[in-house]
Amino acid sequence: MADSKMKLHCGWFFLNSAALFGINEKGLDFELVFVDWIAGESKTKTFLSTLNPFGEVPVLEDGDLKLYESKAITRYLAEQYKDTGTNLLPDDPKERAVVGTWMEVGNNKFLPIALALIKELIIKPYQGLATDVTSVGENKEKLSEILNIYEAHLGKSPYLAGESFTLADLHHLPPIDYLLNTEEKELKKLIYSRPNVAAWVEKMKSRPAWLKTVVMKNHIVDLMKQRRLPKKLDSSSVHEFTLMAQKSAFAMGNN
């Protein structure tokens, strides 16, 4: 008989955090299956043929349903478990359309900028590659411009789609959290110097489901670090491990 417990195959990074955040908002019992995608575990024959042919995490298994794409996962959770935990999608078509609008804004306008900054400030340093400072400067400017629009919008309602927290908000917090944890202090300033944006971020960060997500995310980071421990400690592996630990600490902002 198939194991009926929900499983989330996931690893490090914010798309995975979004899926975890969704499950935690719903208060669902699940098994976290750690996939070290940086070490190629999402590209094995078995993973590609049984979980996701695109070789990416997160992947949700719920009974015989296997789902990939983080936003499809959170939408499924919101709809399938509508009456459990936080209601993440309103019933009213007009209210739902506003959630849809801000999910699209997040996806098409906010995320490309956040992703460019995260790539330059977290991923590249983690891979030992040089950061493109021009790209960082340009994207900080773009971030500032888009945050002005968020600031005005959040002056009208506490959440992106109105009075309550929805999928639109949920998808913003994981990339914002990574932006806040880079060494680039100006990003913090861009976010926290706008009172409405700051209040929105702080409210989301204090949600019990997010606090739980952060604990899980830290657990994943620990698993990653453990996997990278050298088997035999000689002077070169100690050096290698020290560099790796420094990069991880930098990448995670030690959070």
Per-residue tokens: 81: 């478990």
Considering the complex, state which of residue 73 and residue 161 has its C-beta at the smaller distance from ligand GSH.
73
Count of residues interacting with ligand GSH (CB under 6 A):
13
Nearer to ligand GSH, 69 or 138 (CB): 69
Which lies closer to ligand GSH via its Cβ, residue 55 or residue 125? 55
- Out of 15, 118, 121, 122, name the contact with ligand GSH by CB under 6 A: 15
Q: By three-state DSSP, how is residue 231 classified?
A: coil
Our finding on whether 213 is near ligand GSH (CB under 6 A) is no
Contact in structure between 214 and 255 (CB atoms under 8 Å): yes
Instruction: List the one residue from 57, 122, 161, 197 that touches ligand GSH (CB under 6 A).
Output: 57
Pick one of 70, 74, 166, 182: the residue that binds ligand GSH (CB under 6 A). 70
Q: Which of 28, 55, 98, 157 binds ligand GSH (CB under 6 A)?
A: 55
For the chain, the straight-line distance linking the first and the last C-alpha, in angstroms and rounded, comes to 40
69 touches ligand GSH by CB under 6 A? yes
Among the candidate windows 13-21, 101-109, 181-189, 211-219, which touches ligand GSH by CB under 6 A?
A: 13-21
User: What is the DSSP-derived secondary structure letter of residue 130?
Assistant: P
Nearer residue to ligand GSH within complex by CB, 57 or 168: 57
The encoded tokens of residue 175 equal 């990339």
Q: How far is the CB of 213 from ligand GSH (least distance, A)?
A: 14
Helix (H, G, I), strand (E, B) or coil at 6: strand
What is the amino acid identity at position 70? S
User: What is the Cα–Cα distance from 247 to 255, expressed in whole angstroms?
Assistant: 13
Residue 17 as a binder of ligand GSH (CB under 6 A): the answer is: no
CA atoms within 13 A on the CB side of 81: 20
Q: Are 118 and 180 in contact (CB under 8 A)?
A: no
Verify binding: residue 42, ligand GSH, rule CB under 6 A.
Answer: yes
Contact with ligand GSH (CB under 6 A) among 6, 8, 13, 60: 13
74 is a site residue for ligand GSH (CB under 6 A): no
Q: How many Å apart are CA 126 and CA 105, to the nearest integer?
A: 29
Binning the chain into helix, strand and coil, the percentages to the nearest 5 are 65, 10, 30
Q: Tokens for 185? A: 């202090």
- Residue nearer to ligand GSH on the CB measure, 110 or 197: 110
Residues within the interface to ligand GSH (CB under 6 A) = 13, 15-16, 37, 42-43, 55-58, 69-71
